[in-house]
A and B are shown apart, each in its own frame.
Chain A
Amino acid sequence: MKRRTVIAGLGCVALSGIGRARAQSEPPKPRQIVVNASGGAMATALRKAYFDSFEKEYGIRIVDTSPTDFGKLRAMVESGNVEWTVTELGGQDAIRVARMGLVEKIDPKIVDRSGFPEQARSETVYTSSLYSTVLAYRTDVFKPGSHPKSWAEFWDVKKFPGARSLRNHPVDNLEFALLADGVPLDKIYPIDMDRAFKKLDEIKPHVTVWWTTGAQPAQLLVDKEVVLATGWNGRFYDVIKKGAPIAIEWNGGSIKEGTFAIPKGAKDAYWGQKLLAWMSDPKRQAVYATELGYPGPHLETTKYVDPKVAPQMPNYPENLKKQFWNNKQWWDENGEKAAERWNQWLLKK
């Protein structure tokens, strides 16, 4: 009897000791972690805003790879051979990674997101930035002020003649078509596909390029291949910064979140969480925003951004009012059906 108590007591001591040890000491530092993202200008910005300082602080090298690839993520998790510590997710993937159980939860004890807006505090993905699909135009063809100021005007080829470019994908385009057809911003979802495609029929002959990569629309405008295009605000921000005669119209823009996540079974997941925590700092997010035009979600980020640059951000209060939040849930449920219909529609002569 006595002996058993002693053993139990010892056990308790041992257990609590382990518990305490775990709470105090961090998992061993790896030599390096792998962060997978879109690459290009974004890789440079991530490095400048977050990675360099993280490496200096913790002495862990960050290897960056690209591009984001959902198929690869799924294959990695399913095969148990996860190379990425942290990965960026594609536009529509944030919802299904959670549904399919492909990612670890974001640890609220490590990553403090109290300064983020409610929508940007998902349990499973980390919102790293906001971006918007917007209308952009050549300022030497349409003087700012007398440029197309809405999707209805983008559709108006008589008043605003010239070649246009839209993305070769239904996302955003269906929304823009509905807005052009007079649907108010808050009545877009659920999308009436018949109505949207009917409206798209009108613009189809005037779209000379259906773009596939993010770099295309900005380049098409720079080359004057088209005079009006949709595209991600950061891509336009980049060429505008370099002096291209291009401007953005924010009205009717489609806001989305850029997200990162930790693949399920990732090695050194703890240090992945630490990196996300590092990235949640508003000052560092401001560096990133100035570099790319994609602000972080922290509500204080805009405070640290150059006031001259702030109007180029999708979450600049003036801009925010005119745009809508792209509904990920709708696209998660209807994306495949919409894409099939889109492909069919595009092939139709």
Chain B
Amino acid sequence: MTEAVATLPLAAGDRVRRRHARSVLGALALSTPALVLLLVFFALPLLRLFWLSVDAGTFLPYEKALTERLYLTVFWETFKIAAAVTVLTLLLGYPVAYFLATTTRLWQFVGFAFVMLPFWTSILVRTYAWMVLLGRNGVVNRTLLDLGLITEPLPLLHNFTGVLIGMVHVLLPYMIFPIYNAMRKVDADLVRAAEGLGAPGYAVFRRIYLPLTMEGVLAGTTLVFILSLGFFITPALLGGGRVAMIAVIIEQQVREFLNWGFAGALSVVLLASTLVVYGLVHRLLRPRFAEGVR
């Protein structure tokens, strides 16, 4: 490479370099609107939020957020739910993504329709639909009762189960798409080569397919986990008041008590802990699987 550049006349090398610089500038110029948008509507409000939380000149809101048992419990519950939702969507979404990535055109179309239609439906409508399905006298319980499979209606709604079902349903597409994307890029010859060399199906999956799709898994889990942390309406309606998520508490502080400083502190703590978890997961998972590919 260096040799090739060296043999080029000087002017040509310059031109290449200049063209490269121009394309960087061009890319920057093209992404400016989006960057400005993010700056104005995301970064600045975020800063303002932080400012609100220390506006009074003390760290008292933080002390309260980090020491009072109520808020620690709610943070813990929130992360627990987010983790459970992430694991469930991964277990359900990975096979679906595999199916979509490997099946025929027709089935792919049908499969995508099933994934996309709920994705395009209002979250509130879907939440109420689950209430109709999962209630004590809902479709699911009545069917099971009529079939004689159960004698008492199952507690599917207004508890942790209800929240999990509702959130997994909403977030499944966010898991499926990144994984599907990664799977489309997998070179089928690699899998065939491994099989040809006599690797059993399990080993092919673990040593070839999974590492190659790990990028998608990481993207999907990150998306789902972070979106879960901020969930509000689904846990409020399907949890029957028994499932506490931090977003509900933040909303209460903002709307009901106008305690914006404390709400700001809770939000900053949530953001910081989210970033920590995000960093840890990537630190732990990325190098290991990246190595596996090589």
Contacts and interface: CB of A to CB of B under 8 A. Distances in A.
Contact of B255 (A69, A225, A336, A347): A69
B3 interface: no
B137 interface: yes
A344 B252 CA distance: 14
Given A74-B258, A224-B137, A347-B73, A208 B240 contact: yes
Contacts of B268: none
A339 B251 CA distance: 13
Interface string A324-349: 00000000000110011001101100
Nearest to B157: A225
Interface residues of A, number: 28
Given A336-B257, A339-B252, A208 B236 contact: no
Contact of A209 (B73, B138, B241): B241
Nearest to B240: A209
A223 interface: yes
A212 B74 contact: no
A207 B73 CA distance: 22
A40 interface: no
B241 A223 contact: no
Given A210-B241, A212-B237, A71 B70 contact: no
B256 interface: yes
Given A211-B241, A224-B136, A71 B258 contact: yes
A186 B242 CA distance: 32
16 contacts: A70-B255, A70-B256, A71-B258, A90-B256, A96-B258, A211-B241, A212-B236, A212-B237, A216-B237, A223-B135, A223-B137, A224-B137, A225-B136, A335-B256, A346-B241, A347-B73
Nearest to A336: B257
A347 B244 contact: yes
Nearest to B239: A210
B259 interface: yes
Given A208-B158, A346-B242, A339 B70 contact: no
A133 B135 CA distance: 24
Contact of A335 (B77, B158, B244, B257): B257
Contacts of B260: 71
Contact of B74 (A216, A225, A335, A347): A347
A284 B255 CA distance: 32
Given A223-B135, A224-B136, A344-B69, A212 B241 contact: yes
